[in-house]
Every structure is written in C-alpha cells, then in structure tokens.
Structure 1
Amino acid sequence: MAAPSIYHYHMRQDFNTNVDNNNSTATPMTDALNIHLQFSHVLELCYPETIQIPLNTTIESHLFPRQLFLSHVTRENIIKEILYSTGCSSDFVETVAPDISSFALDMVTDPCNASSSEPLTMVLAILVTTPYDEREEIDRALNDSLMQETSRFKPASKSCIDGLKRMSLEGSCSMKECMVCLEEFLMGSEVVCLPCGHIFHGDCIVRWLETSHLCPLCRFAMPR
C-alpha cells in the first residue's frame, strides 16, 4: 500500500503583500480580506536518495468582503471551497477548515485591523508531500516473486549459468546495489550483467538462477 500524503499548513497576516485584483476571485474592493493561497504538491522519492519533484504549484488571491467572515457557516464554506479547489483530501479539508476559519475571523475582528479600510491579507501556505519509496517497490516485487508457488520456480539451465559473463564493475552505474543481497556495489567488484541489463553480484545471481530462471527485478526469462 502506498504511503499516504503528508500535509503541512500555516497562516499568517502579511502586511506587505499588495493585492492584485486582476488575479483575485472577486471584483476590486477595499474593506476586504484577501486570502493569498500558496499551494505546493511534491513527490518525494526516498530511494536511493531523497529528492522532491514538484507536481503542482498554485499561487492565487481570493478577495472577499470582510463581513462574510463574521458568519461561522459562511467563512467555513469559503475556506473549504478554496481548499477543495487545490485537490486536497476531504479528511484534511474537514480537519483544518475550522482552524483556518478561526484565524480569518481573528483578523477581521482584530481592533488593530478594524480601523483600516484597505484589504487585509492572510497568507495560507499548504505543502503536500507524497512519499514514493522505490526501495519498498523493489522489495515488494522481490517478495512477491519469492512467494509464488514452488511449481513456478524453474532454475536456469546449467549451461546458461556456466556461461554467465563476469566482469569488474568500473565507471558509473545506475544500479547502486545488488538487489538479491541488497548490499552496495563496490568499485572493482565482480558483477554479472544479465541480458536484460540488470547487474548483480556474481555469486548472488548464480544462487538465484539455481532456483529461478527469471530475473529477480524484471522477470526476464533465462534459458532453462
């Protein structure tokens, strides 16, 4: 099962952001609350190293009359509509909407803000991180292969195993470790490259092929 997405959010009043009425969801107004949304969704690759890949970034302003936020129902509906527009999960939206709604109410009712007729700006930043652990996917593929019925495990032929070409690992290699023993490759170590292109420690792949004629990663069939 894939790991669930992780949500982070925070709100703050921004005294420096200029409201761009051309990008807002309402007509120009002064006595208003500008909800400045900064939404990011990233895919986090966890193996072989942690890398974050941007999937979606949204920066937009939503301008509303302040009086709308005096009503509990109205302000929560506004917040939920904004959150749902980003594709956030319903669990996240229903959980955080009251907190964000309360912050918006505090802003519009704050005596320090009440005297100003200029739009107030609330920055709402949301970061969604979806983990993808390639190592887990590889391990799962290996486990699924190992749990197949015994009748489906047919060893590679002895001539095929004897004919494996061994070589010394030199230069760059996209595979960082042997996916049979899960130990890292060392420069200069002896490896075997199967016809499918996957590389393994020589002794490891020999033991594997003595049990199954299929590549442990892509199921390429070796002669039986």
Structure 2
Amino acid sequence: MSSPTTFSFRCSIRCNANGSAATNGQPLQFVELRLGHFSQLVLSPSHQILQQTSPILISDTLIRFPLRELEDPPFISHSSLCRFLSSYNISDAVCDAIFLKISSFAFQLVAGNLNSNFHIIAALDFVYTHWVDLDPAEDAAAVRQGAPRSAIERLMKEKYDGNGGEEMEDECSVCYEDLHGKTEKEKEVSRIPCGHMFHKSCILKWLKISNSCPLCRGELEA
C-alpha cells in the first residue's frame, strides 16, 4: 500500500569564497540562488530512503548581498531574493526563512569583517516524497530483497513503449517526470505484471531493491 505523495523544501548553503578583503570599502559579496527539484521514495514509518533522483536545476540567479546594507532597511537583497522565489509561487514565509538562513551563514562566514569578499551558493530544492507503506508482517529487509533476476531480465528484453492505443498515465511514479518524455530514450516505458507503467530505466532501478510495484505493492513472480 502506498501513502500520498508529500511536498517539502530543502535548503543547503555552501561558500565559494577567496577570503580576501576588498579595497575602497566595496566588497564583492554575492549569493547565487539555485532553484531545483528532486524526488525520493521513502519507507514508512522508518523514513528510510529507498531511492532518490538527482536534483534537477530549474533556474538560478545571482544576487548582490552587501552585509552593511543589512544593518539598516530597506533590505534590497531581501527584495531581490523574494522577487525571484515568489515567481515560482514560493510563500513569503519560506522566502523570509531562506533569507534569514543565508544572512546568518554570511555573518558567521565573515566573522565580523564586513569587507570580506564571498560568493555563497544557496541551493533550494522542491522535494517530492512518495511514501511506501509496509504491511505489519513485512519489514525493510523484504523491500530491499529486490525482484527475481528472471523477472528483471524479462522487462529488459521487452520493447513495449506505451503506444498500444490505450490511455497512459501522465507521470512516472518513480521519478515524477512526464512518462511521454522529450527524447526517444525518455519515452521508453515498461508495463509490469500488475498493469502499472513507468519509465523503463526507473522501474528497473526500483526492482533491484524491491520485488513489488511502487504503487499497488503487487509482487513480481520469477
């Protein structure tokens, strides 16, 4: 049985700084804001991550982040950051939280020297979490067992591409990307015995760690 997909944010911050002091009181202080998304399959209730896609970049921008400006409003850097994020329907509360997190990181980085140069990279990702529930009699070891080798080999040999005339789902429930894809490779899908369809590469990767459909939990036979 599968629980509904949940949505959250993940923000990570790192620095790419040279550590030198700028001249003439004009430090080079920037924040590179990268907006992306990724998906993960998580075992409930242990919260064990079974599979996670690589983050995909949606957009990025470079924002001037002068620390001396933060001593007195208006905070131009705050307006720039919120304007960028709000264009992707991110709430004001999340924008404020991200701004405070970046500000705190920047002040700790310069350690009191407001003329320090820095280039901070803040990565904000939309996280789509698909929860996989286990029946009480099952455990995590059963999920990690993977499908029989013969079942995986059958899927690898099949050439089904989803063009059989029937209606096809819009989204792969493993990676949450469009099933139709843009390239021929991305369009290649596979139907497993229970009837559900996924990107072929996605379901093959999933079946290496689980012998059941990500949606209905139906098992594959050898």
Q: Scaled by the length of structure 2, what TM-score is found?
A: 0.44
Point out which structure has higher relative CO (alpha carbons under 8 A, 6+ apart): 2
Larger-gyration structure (1/2): 1
